[in-house]
Amino acid sequence: MYDYLKFNESKLDIIYKYENKFDRLDIKLFSEFFTKESGVHITEKIIQDWIDFNCNISTNLFEDTIELLEYLKSKNKSLAVRTNFFLKAQCSRMKNTKIFDYVDDIYAGDSYLKPNINSYIEAASNYPIDKCVMIGDNLEYDVLAPRRLGMDSIYYNPKISEDEVPIKETVKSLIKIKDIYN
């Protein structure tokens, strides 16, 4: 019998391997890859059930999320979400947390996965790359990769200590972003 705890610990590593190997989320390919990497038979039905399950949950928002979104919208900023998860699940989760209406566009792993360069170009839409800012909690995917393209980025990490800050534009509180782009 497979050790569930071992599987649970390795699933994020498997997801990151997938994201770095493939350009898009594809249920069939994802189930095959997950099965090969984990040693557990993960069917397309299991992946679809996972997506459906995620549609019905309400993710806890980071502190100050609503205040920051209201501020940015008051400044007529166009807001896009770039996620590596499935679009259907992400839209539902955003509706469940009441932030969906703040967002102008949502781009998900169904089209391109971060850190694929096309994921950032797609999220920039018709805006020049150098006029866009990526805000995220993954240093490689949300900060360093878009910077290599010429896009500004802000690293959000509420648990980081002052001596660990990897870049100047690191914030421990989302509301501090107002100070950066005031």
Average pLDDT, integer, range 83-92: 94
pLDDT at 107: 95
80 burial level (CB within 10 Å; 0-12, 13-18, 19+): middle
What domains are there in the chain, each with its CATH number?
A: 4-55 (no CATH), 65-180 (3.40.50.1000)
Res. 3 pLDDT band, cuts 50 70 90: low
pLDDT of 1 over the 70 cut: no
Query: Rounded to whole angstroms, how far apart are CA atoms 154 and 157?
Result: 10
Residue range 4-12: mean pLDDT, rounded: 75
Mean pLDDT computed over 65-81: 93
Angle (nearest 5°) at CA 9 between 3 and 15: 115
Q: Is the pLDDT of residue 2 over 60?
A: no
* pLDDT for the residue numbered 168: 86
Extract the runs of DSSP E, i.e. beta strands, from 22-180: 80-82, 105-107, 133-136, 152-156, 170-171
44 has a pLDDT exceeding 90: yes
- For the segment 158-165, the average pLDDT, to the nearest whole number, is 85
Which of 1-5, 60-64, 90-94 is the most confident on average? 90-94
Per-residue pLDDT, 14: 93
